[in-house]
Amino acid sequence: MDDATATILIVDDQVDNLLVLTSLLKSQGYEVRKARGGQLALQTVEAEIPDLILLDIRMPEVDGYQVCAQLKASPITQEVPIIFLSALNEIDDRMAAFAAGGADYITKPFYATEVLARIHCQLTIQRQRHQLIEQNYKLQQEIQERQRVELALREANLELERLASLDGLTQIFNRRRFDAYWFSEWQQAQHQQTSLSLIMCDVDCFKAYNDYYGHQAGDQCLYRVAQAIQQTLVQPRDLVARYGGEELAIVLPQTPAAEAVRIVNQIRAMIAQLQIVHEGSSVGLYLTASFGIWSQTPKATDTAESAILAADAALYAAKAAGRDCWKLYPVTTHRPRSVEVIPLKS
Residue 338 has pLDDT above 60, yes or no: no
Residues near 324 by beta carbon (within 8 Å), at least 6 away in sequence? 204, 268, 283, 284, 288, 289, 290, 343, 344
Domains and CATH numbers, the chain: 3-134 (3.40.50.2300), 167-328 (3.30.70.270)
Q: pLDDT band at residue 4, thresholds of 50, 70 and 90? A: low
pTM, rounded to two decimals: 0.59
The rounded distance, in Å, linking the Cα atoms of 64 and 77 is 15
Q: What mean pLDDT comes out for the span 156-179?
A: 92
- Mean pLDDT of all residues belonging to the chain: 91
pLDDT computed for residue 1 by the predictor = 55
Q: pLDDT for 318-330, tens place per residue?
A: 999 999 999 999 9
Question: Please, which residues have CB within 8 angstroms of residue 98's CB and are 6 or more apart in sequence?
Answer: 105
Tell me what pLDDT residue 92 has. Answer: 86
What confidence category does residue 162 fall into, taking pLDDT thresholds of 50, 70 and 90?
confident
Higher pLDDT, 326 or 58: 326
pLDDT, average across residues 107-117: 91
Adjacent-strand bridge partners of 277: 286
Catalytically active residues, by annotation: 246
pLDDT tens per residue across span 216-239? 999 999 999 999 999 999 999 999
